[in-house]
Amino acid sequence: MPITQYLERNRKLYSDEIALVELNPEQQDNRRMTWKEYSLIQPTVAAPYRREITWRVFDEKANRFANMLLSRGVKKGDKVAILMMNCLEWLPIYFGVLKTGALAVPFNFRYSSDEILYCADLAEVDVLVFGPEFIGRIESVADRLIPHRLLIYVGENCPTFAESYRDLVADCSSKAPDITITDDDDGAIYFSSGTTGFPKAILHKHRSLMHAAIVEQTHHSTSHEDCFLCIPPLYHTGAKMHWFGSLVSGSKAVLLRGTKPEYIFSAVSTEHCTIVWLLVPWAQDILDALDNGSLKISDYHLDQWRLMHIGAQPVPPSLIRHWLEYFPNHQYDTNYGLSESIGPGCVHLGVENTHKVGAIGVPGYGWECKIIRENGDVVKKGEAGELCVRGDGVMTCYYHNPEATAEVLTEDGWLKTGDVAMEDEDGFIFLVDRKKDVIVSGGENLYPVQIEDFLRGYDKINDVAVIGLPDARLGEIAGAIIAVKEGMTCTEEEINTFCLGLPKYKRPRKIIFAPVPRNATGKIEKPKLRRMYGEEYLVAYENRK
């Protein structure tokens, strides 16, 4: 069944219970507000940085948006793009699109004007819904968007080149439209990260969306009493599919705009959050704040927080060990997935397997995994190869790109992930690195993730990325871009001394102290680093010759 039926069920069962809360602490007074002060105003939703809706209102808003789209000629199979920051309107708009039988097409909020236009053309978008943060970017390409598309603006002071969401839905029916949707109908188009060029459009059926919802609720035993804190952007499969666990259980979720440690703790404390999904940088920021005393657990009500999980990138085992020193009673899980496999969950550690921290886990609920050589043969345990996954969450195809589809999808339904992994004797899968990120140095394969994990063990390092740098003799050498913790100083000599703990061939041969860029989902932007330092290093090398 389509996931829209869960929304309709929740309206019947939990009509007046809170479904979603939006917190925007950036709108607070500049003074720091303790949880005690905040808790005094929290129940009164008049605070400018807190809004909430019930399951009944959620479903009504989705129905109104669906009926408005239908009145404007949107039909089954059309595409509706969503370009908004996390807000209370985001998910009702998403579900309104699904209820029409059209495809929801979330856009990355970091897209430039050219990328917005490119993705709108690639996905054959008929309607673009956007928020106030994107007026300038949309306006610069509006003349090329408008002839073929309806532009809908969500916010105050609607620009002249768009139509107002508020005005459009004001008089629309709040009853569900009479549209039949099946598991085999196309449901959504997501986009690859685009780190090697313009993104690819990833087509998923409604079956994929439902599969993601069941997987998430199963993995984390999300109950009606839970409250999920969602911080990452909803355009990304990771954030939305984790929230799907709340949809299945009919439980409350909180959308937090802002990633400061005190914002996260205040949200957990005042909204009584039980499940929090973090990215590695945010978890590290929390630990740093606890270590230096600027954040104190005793200032907040955190006893109900039962699960912290991380995904979207490799997780340093040292970070989790440190986390459990502060929160020994927390369940911990990590989730692995791709947009091509409808987000997280095709591999997951499982809360019962914290002793295996460092592994990405075992095949997720309803998923199969295998690790293969270049010739397609399955590797032996302990041998590295390409991770492949199969299940109902695998994409249908790259939209209008059969060549790219054929490169990653096999005839029998296996998705080649492009990640190098290995399986230990207990059946746990460890992510070694991205296939394309492997450094070949003097005939030896170096896996940057392994070197990064080692370097994070040095107490002065806040973040690190390892990339291949050109070398005339070895082909490539490992270069480490290191971000030092605030208030600390570090030298190349210190790093080289620390790296004596690595085999000689794995030691970075170039140390660069600089910020480590990450995208909105926390992944290191290695192509950007290669452009910044690889070419620079090559020029410098050539000049020395």
* Domains of the chain, CATH where assigned: 4-326 (3.40.50.12780), 353-434 (2.30.38.10), 438-544 (3.30.300.30)
DSSP string covering 21-75, please? EEE-GGGS-SS---HHHHHHHTTSTTSTTEEEEEHHHHHHHHHHHHHHHHHTT--
Q: For residue 398, what are the β-bridge partners?
A: 202
Pairing relation of β-strands 252-256 and 18-23?
parallel
pLDDT (tens digit, 9 = 90+) per residue, 308-356?
Answer: 998 766 677 888 889 999 999 999 999 888 899 997 889 999 999 988 8
The whole-angstrom separation of Cα 451 and Cα 509 is: 12
Instruction: Go through the chain and tell me how many residues it has.
Output: 545
- Residue 506's pLDDT is 86
Largest CA distance in the chain: 74
Ordered alpha helix ranges (H), 72-134: 90-100, 113-122
φ, ψ of residue 59 in degrees (nearest 5):
-65, -40
This model's pTM is above 0.85:
no
């997935």: which residue's tokens? 337
Q: How far is CA 66 from the centre of its chain?
A: 26
Token output for 166: 């508020």
CA–CA gap between residue 51 and residue 46 (Å, rounded):
8
> Where do we find the tokens 């003074």?
31
Asked if 11 and 55 count as a contact pair (C-beta separation under 8 A), the reply is yes
Predicted confidence at residue 314, as pLDDT, reads: 67
Q: Per residue of the chain (545 residues), give pLDDT as tens.
A: 899 999 999 999 999 999 999 999 877 544 444 444 544 444 333 445 899 999 999 999 999 999 999 999 999 999 999 999 999 999 999 999 999 999 999 998 888 898 899 999 999 999 999 999 999 999 999 988 877 789 999 999 999 999 999 999 999 999 999 999 999 999 999 998 654 457 899 999 999 999 999 999 999 999 999 999 999 899 988 888 999 999 999 999 999 998 899 999 999 999 999 999 998 878 988 998 999 999 999 999 999 999 999 876 667 788 888 999 999 999 999 988 889 999 788 999 999 998 888 899 999 999 999 999 989 999 999 998 999 999 999 999 999 999 999 999 999 999 999 888 999 999 999 987 666 777 877 656 787 888 988 898 898 999 999 988 887 667 788 999 999 998 899 999 999 999 998 878 789 999 999 999 887 667 788 878 888 887 665 544 444 44
Q: CA 484, CA 13: separation in Å to the nearest integer?
A: 51
- Start-to-end Cα distance in the chain: 65
pLDDT value for 155: 93
d(CA 16, CA 518): 39
Closest CA to 370 of 422, 332, 335: 422
Instruction: State the pLDDT at residue 32.
Output: 47
CA distance 466 to 480: 4
- Whole-number pLDDT of residue 97: 98
Sequence-ordered strand ranges (E) for 312-441? 331-338, 343-348, 362-363, 367-372, 385-391, 397-398, 415-423, 429-434, 439-441
Computed on alpha carbons and rounded to an integer, the radius of gyration of the chain in Å comes to 24
Q: Supply the pLDDT for residue 520.
A: 66
